[in-house]
Structure 1
């Protein structure tokens, strides 16, 4: 797939995202609405909800540092797995390419 065929934020149904935590850990996930998902993770950390990932019970999410559109849930899941296999430095380079 070329960059020209990548969906825009308004067109994409699925997203792969990275969240940085207060302890500077990087979490990788997928969602249809990254803002809503971030709030679910934050609520889990604060003990106000249980819809966020268990990871956030002990790690306070600070910001979404990277988002990438996907054409389907399957594509998003494959990309999520690829990103999870990357070393921290490469994940950081996705979010901050000029660093």
Structure 2
């Protein structure tokens, strides 16, 4: 896991998360409250990509990060094919 930089005082703490569904599809995003965000995705009120593809479950969470750092980490995870392959392989064994 990546070490999280400290979040400056008074700034919101964001988390980077990866969701997976039963078909092995992964979705990466950022949120202040991952559990609340997961509930929105599963209620088809989240991102357009996740609508109709659930149920989703949390596969990975990192943070807390400052907003800009969370966005950069989200982008890095989206580009990291090896990470997603390892993540999906780990989910297949559980």
TM-score range, shorter chain: 0.7 to 0.9
Give matches, 1:1-99, under 5 Å: 3=3, 13-44=13-44, 50=45, 52-87=46-81, 89-93=82-86, 96=90
1:4–1:23 distance in 2 versus 1, CA, 3 Å: closer
Deviation at 1:55, TM superposition (A): 0.8
TM-score by length of 2: 0.75
TM-score by length of 1: 0.71
Structural RMSD (CA): 2.6
CA contact (8 A) 1:16 1:67 kept: yes
Q: Which runs of 5+ in 1 are unaligned?
A: 45-49
Q: Which runs of 5+ in 2 are unaligned?
A: none
